[in-house]
Amino acid sequence: MAAMTIAKLAKMKAEGDKIASLTAYDASFSKLFSQHGVDFMLVGDSLGNVVLGASSTLPVTTENIAYHTRAVRNGAPEAFVIADMPFMSYATPEQACQEAATLMRAGANMVKLEGGDWLLDTIRQLVTHGVPVCAHLGLLPQSVNVLGGYKVQGKEASAAENTLRQALALQEAGAQMLVLECVPASLAKRITEQLSIPTIGIGAGKDCDGQILVMHDMLGLNSDYLPKFVKDFLAEAGDLAAAVELYVRQVKDGSFPGPEHSFKG
Known binding-site residues for 3-methyl-2-oxobutanoate equal: 45-46, 84, 112
- Report the C-alpha gap between 155 and 248 in whole angstroms: 29
- Report the C-alpha gap between 251 and 228 in whole angstroms: 16
Helix 157-173 vs helix 185-194: crossing angle, to nearest 10: 30
Nearest partner of 256 among 213, 195, 220, judged by Cα: 213
Which residues are annotated binding-site positions? 45-46, 84, 112, 114
Which residues are annotated binding-site positions for Mg(2+)? 45, 84, 114
Tally of CB atoms within 10 A around 247? 28
Quick check: is 181 catalytic?
A: yes
Spatial neighbors of 257 by CB under 8 A, at least 6 apart, are 201, 203, 205, 206, 211, 229, 231
- Report the C-alpha gap between 96 and 255 in whole angstroms: 38
- The residue annotated as part of the active site, out of 172, 181, 193, 260, is 181
Q: Are 21 and 210 in contact (CB under 8 A)?
A: yes
Q: Are 232 and 238 in contact (CB under 8 A)?
A: no
- Report the C-alpha gap between 84 and 14 in whole angstroms: 25
- Give the CA angle between residues 217, 248, 175 to the nearest 5°: 80
| Residue 169, CA atoms < 13 Å, CB-side half-sphere | 15
Catalytic residues: 181
